[in-house]
Amino acid sequence: MKSVNVTEPFLPPIEEYIEHLKGIWERNWLTNQGPVVQELEQKLQAYHQLQMPVHCVANGSLGLLIALKALGVKGEVITTPFSYVATTACPLWEGCTVKFADIEPDTLTIDPRAVEAAITPQTEAILATHVFGNPCDVEALDAIAAKHGLAMIYDAAHAFGVRYKGKSILEYGDASMVSLHATKLMHSVEGGFVVAKDSAVSDKIEWMRRFGHKGTDDFHGVGVNAKLSELHAAMGLCCLNHVSEVFERRRLCSQYYDQRLFSEGAKTKVNTKLGPGIQLRHGAEKNYSYYPVIFDNEEAVIRCIENLQKELIFPRRYFYPVLNKVGFKILESDFGVSESIARRILCLPLSAQMCERRLEAIVDAVLQ
């Protein structure tokens, strides 16, 4: 029996990738902002209906580092302890001081009231994650950032294609980073992209990701190598071609989970173990990037994992552990909600190629 992991990369038909490779071979142009990267950037911009340019990078983490650098953030950054380790590691890597603000218990995104309470004269930026594609309270956060003169950066690693109140979620804040890692619903194997509202910041991001080059022999300033290669961009174009079908298949899987775990009929069976599902922010559209469930207690999570593993199904405790527990030097604050959720959350497998039989086995194991 084949094992099932929490996320399985989508692979487009190989012939489509080979077609792109032929062009790359003919041009013998492998990297350095070649035509495939340029086409991917234009298509990502059009897909999200953005006016601002899209800057592809080699991975989302480099995108976050560059966004922090381009916005001149060097001091204290307020962020969420309930995110992937990169959200905290990037500002620390940049030499910033990190302070956590707790999350909202229903949406799992950073709580604007906790953010405002954490602001000090040293604070320079807020870095907030659209958790599992669920948008943060962007109106409140953008307003707090503006009121206190802070940079507002969104870790939109999970938020490919998310729309909020009729427009792309990437329109909020000063800058956003989307990951195109292989485990994401749209990917380029490794990769990511950054957008920034202010054209001067956007221009900086554009040159910072390619050593700071201004032509061949001149430089705008210090940069780094965060270029996406033509081969990665080709995978991005192939996956983008199939993205609506990937969305639809993931929507159907999520609908199956919803019906069997959370519909009226299911409630009597599972309400002793599962809390309510995560609250989608009002005005947001789901992108089906993850299927998290929150249990009543940690023992129930561990039992469920054991049951699933017997069936060769590997869910993931995600995000776990909470980021104040990973040994980084973080300023003290209160993050009880994040700690409680991290202990009780599990992301069930979700991918475009899951068959009904496996979905059934997963739900049976959760209900055991």
Contact set with ligand PLP (CB under 6 A): 59-61, 83-84, 86-87, 129, 155, 157-158, 179, 181, 192
- Nearer residue to ligand PLP within complex by CB, 129 or 338: 129
Residues in Cβ contact with 235 at an 8 Å cutoff, skipping those fewer than 6 apart: 12, 17, 187, 188, 189
Q: Which is nearer to ligand PLP, 180 or 363 (CB)?
A: 180
Return the residue nearest ligand PLP (CB atom).
60
Nearest approach, Cβ of residue 319 and ligand PLP (Å): 8
Q: Which is nearer to ligand PLP, 84 or 100 (CB)?
A: 84
- Whether the CB-CB separation of 288 and 278 falls below 8 Å is answered with no
Q: How far is the CB of 90 from ligand PLP (least distance, A)?
A: 8
Shortest distance (Å) from residue 74 CB to ligand PLP: 20
Strand, helix or coil for residue 210: strand
Cα 166 to Cα 156: distance, rounded to the nearest angstrom: 17
Q: To the nearest whole angstrom, how small is the minimum distance from the Cβ of residue 136 to ligand PLP?
A: 12
Among residues 144 and 177, whose Cβ is nearest to ligand PLP? 177
- On whether the CB atoms of residues 243 and 235 are closer than 8 A, the answer is no
Residue 110 Cα to chain centre, angstroms = 14
Closest approach, Cβ 232 to ligand PLP, in A, equals: 11
Amino acid at 177: M
Query: How many other C-beta atoms lie within 10 A of the C-beta of residue 329?
Result: 7
- What 8-state DSSP symbol labels residue 130? -
Helices and strands (H, E) in the chain, number of each type: 13, 15
Q: Which is nearer to ligand PLP, 161 or 359 (CB)?
A: 161
Min CB(267)–ligand PLP separation in Å: 31
Nearest approach in angstroms of CB 66 to ligand PLP is 12
| Least distance between ligand PLP and beta carbon 364 (Å) | 28
Burial class (CB in 10 A: 0-12, 13-18, 19+), 216: exposed
Quick check: 70 and 232 in contact, CB under 8 A? Answer: no
Handedness of CA 300, 305, 310, 313 (dihedral sign): positive
CB-nearer residue toward ligand PLP: 157 or 354: 157
**Closer to ligand PLP at the Cβ: 45 or 59?**
59
Task: Specify the DSSP element, H or E, that contains 192.
Answer: strand 192-196
Between 87 and 273, CB nearer to ligand PLP: 87
Cβ distance to ligand PLP smaller for residue 86 or 363: 86
Q: Which amino acid is at 349?
A: P
| CA 109 – CA 128 distance, rounded (Å) | 8
Q: How far is the CB of 354 from ligand PLP (least distance, A)?
A: 20
Instruction: Spell out the residues 6+ positions from residue 273 whose beta carbon is closer than 8 angstroms to its own.
Output: 295, 296, 300, 304, 366
